[in-house]
């Protein structure tokens, strides 16, 4: 982040590798369109680059990037809606659709997934997303059932430890 804050363009690549998936997940959940979500990703990193000199590299960049990404998604949502309705009255656009709720949760889960070792993430994808049984996952991944179970337990422990605040009531 020090290099990014100083304006080193190569540091953008590092930041992109670490955060492009959470940014994309937030954008896709809010807008529901891959093309628009990728536009949000582009806008987010360019805006972050422009504002990097004001960022304290000692801080976690995730909340900062999330705020920029969410803002970009809001701007594109409003632009698209204006375009569809062919008018410039923004009064009815002040309230965002439900797809904009809980986006930080999406960011956190996607980031936690990216922190998993590749072999553990593959098991979580097979058992949770694809909803395969342990035996089916073992066949699909070409590993023993016992390995699927141990990787699944290990990965879930990591995720649950990182994300144990999910689902708590807020004000």
Partner 1 sequence: MNCELILERIAAGERDSRAPSADIDAHLSVCADCRMRAAAAETLGRQLRDALLWEEPSPDLAQRVLDGVAGDAGSRPSRRPWWLAAGVAAIAALVLGVGWMTGRPDWSVDLVAGPAAPGDAGAIVSGWNTSEGTRMIFDVSGLDDAPDGNYYEVWLTAPDGRHVSAGTFNRPGRFEVMAGVRRGEYPRIWVTLEPADDDLNPYPATVLDTSGDDD
Q: Binding to partner 1 (CB under 8 A): which residues in 83-102?
A: 95-96, 100-102
Shortest Å, Cβ 111 to partner 1? 11
Site for partner 1 (CB under 8 A): which residue of 18, 58, 86, 142? 58
Q: How far apart are CA 67 and CA 59, in angstroms?
A: 14
Q: How many residues in the chain?
A: 171
Burial state string for 11-47 with b = 16 or more CB within 10 A and e = fewer than 16: bbeebeeebbbbbbbbbbbbbeeeebbebbbebbbeb
Applying CB under 8 A, which of residues 50, 79, 87, 135 lies at the interface with partner 1?
Answer: 50
Binding-site size for partner 1 (CB under 8 A) equals 74
Binding mask 3-22 for partner 1 (x = CB under 8 A): --x-x-x--xx--xx--xx-
Contact 152, 124 (CB under 8 A): yes
Which run of H or of E encompasses 29?
A: helix 9-31
For the segment 98-137, give every residue that binds partner 1 (CB under 8 A): 100-106, 109-110, 113, 124-125, 127-129, 131
Q: How far is the CB of 170 from partner 1 (least distance, A)?
A: 4
Interacting span for partner 1 (CB under 8 A) from 37-45, 81-89, 139-147 = 37-45
Binders of partner 1 among 145-164, rule CB under 8 A?
Answer: 152-153, 156-157, 159-160, 163-164
Q: Which of 41, 76, 137, 138 binds partner 1 (CB under 8 A)?
A: 41
């Amino acid at each position: 982040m020090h290099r990014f804050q100083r304006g080193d363009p190569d540091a953008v690549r590092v930041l992109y590798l670490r955060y492009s998936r959470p940014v994309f997940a937030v954008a896709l959940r809010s807008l529901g369109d891959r093309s628009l979500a990728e536009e949000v990703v582009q806008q987010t990193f360019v805006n972050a680059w422009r504002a990097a000199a004001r960022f304290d590299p000692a801080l976690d960049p995730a909340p900062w990037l999330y705020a920029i990404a969410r803002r970009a998604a809001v701007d594109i949502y409003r632009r698209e809606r204006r375009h569809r309705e062919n008018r410039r009255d923004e009064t009815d656009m002040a309230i965002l659709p439900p797809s904009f709720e809980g986006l930080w949760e999406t960011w956190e889960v996607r980031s936690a997934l990216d922190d998993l070792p590749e072999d553990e993430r593959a098991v979580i994808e097979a058992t949770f997303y694809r909803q395969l049984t342990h035996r089916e996952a073992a066949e699909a991944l070409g590993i023993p059932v016992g390995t699927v179970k141990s990787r699944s337990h290990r990965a879930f422990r990591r995720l649950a430890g990182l994300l144990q605040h999910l689902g708590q009531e807020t004000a």
